[in-house]
Structure 1
């Protein structure tokens, strides 16, 4: 019989020696294997488990609910954020009002890259927006995630090297194994109709599309934030406000010294 994965997370109410040993011994008696175990912030610990019988997971939960030293916070089939929490020892934080918005700070770049790489590995169309101030690591994280996911990356519009605006692609640049990267500010402020025709064409491909500055991208187009599957916010620190005024001035006032690069 096939074994099923489970995510188990608990909060320590009263820490004492041997507590973890008692839990792992109970798992062993119920023939539940531990795949991964790690602390996941503060006094919580998470485990990825493998069990042939779901009934054993129910028994495990029932017994633990009688223990006063711990409080069960999650027992469920693992989600992507559960696996990454155990792998990195940190939660991925979502927006309270918008569950498709995920928040990261700069010292969590490893977690962010891992998260995006797992999204990139999934088949089919995926539209992902990423917000953040200049030089916080947005583009570099997207490129690194593409490498981790064994995907090629292609700048449709960008300021990574020069202000780049593509008006067409060549045959070898089409494909589901490519991550298409667009800068919402560059496309909106500097692009022509041929560029937008290319974007519409790319949007139809069963591939991953990344839009930096999605709020600017949707202002003058037929696309809306509802079209995005995920929104990622990357900050230098948690309280940082993401604004666009300074960024737009730097990009388009000529202070950067970058020239337009049309294909």
Structure 2
């Protein structure tokens, strides 16, 4: 059975990792993956066939002045991606289901979104300013998840605004990609009706500019399971007031 084991180092001296690895070896716990996540913070995926060994590990390090356990649990998708990339996905302090990335983290974003798309049928909102790489990241994540991407509305190469979908396009191996701006400001009545229908269908959906779709499309915020924010830099402001002034500047996502 896999466990996610994370600790911070209070006394950074030579041999700390060796001491931890030795303890795991004495307990008969194998290390499957290990990486540094931040200064003085390490994460591991460990393997143990006996839950009592995990309890013993926790007790053995409980009074340590060198390291402090910050996590010892079954690994999540985020844990695995953090370890794979050697840094931590940033969550919004106001909403734990909102995840923040910059363009430097595109590989991490693709792995994360691809992992979400492999789970049941999530609805994911992707926020970001124009030309930051939202649509390209969504397509890459679909490839990563081995899913077909179906553009319900988009301006990636040319404007797309579908009025109907085939049964094959609503299959489990498809992801519906919706541009919230195109689907509200430029939508026909048939397109709006299609949106309402597909929102009721349990199939993965990714919505670019979800703020606009929720505000103008008469949808409840509860339809969004996860929100991803993509910025050029950490301090870039995502300002949708620009859309009200000149939404044509968002033609290329």
Aligned residues: 252
User: CA 1:6/1:33 → structure 2, altered by over 3 Å: closer, same or farther?
Assistant: same
Give unpaired runs (5+ residues) of structure 1: 259-263
Correspondence for 1:95: 92
1:244 corresponding residue in structure 2 = 240
Q: CA deviation at 1:244?
A: 2.2
User: What is the CA distance between 1:249 and its match in structure 2?
Assistant: 5.5
Cα distance in 2 between the residues matched to 1:12 and 1:107: 27
Q: Distance in 2 between matches of 1:252 and 1:14?
A: 55
Residue aligning to 1:7: 4
1 CA distance for matches of 2:243 and 2:30?
50
Contact 2:29 2:53 in 1 (8 A): yes
1:36 aligns with 2:27: no
1:110-129 matches, cutoff 5 A: 110-123=107-120, 125-129=121-125
Which residue in the other structure is 2:45 paired with?
Answer: 48
Partner of 2:200: 204
Which residue does 2:80 correspond to in 1? Answer: 83
What whole-Å deviation, never above 9, does each CA across 1:25-75 have from its counterpart, x for those lacking one?
Answer: 111111111110000012100001111111111111111122211121111
2:56 counterpart (46, 59, 70): 59
Q: SS of the residue aligned with 1:219?
A: helix
TM superposition score normalised by structure 2: 0.94
Give the structure 2 partner of residue 140 of structure 1: 136
Pair 1:186–1:248, CA change in 2 (3 A) = farther
1:9-24 mapped onto 2 (5 Å cutoff): 9-24=6-21
The answer on whether the counterparts of 1:84 and 1:115 sit within 8 Å (CA) in structure 2 is yes
- Listed as ranges, the gaps of 5+ residues in structure 2 are none
- State the distance in 2 between where 1:55 and 1:203 align: 45
Deviation at 1:84, TM superposition (A): 1.0
**Whole-Å Cα distance in 2 between the matches of residues 24 and 195 of structure 1?**
58
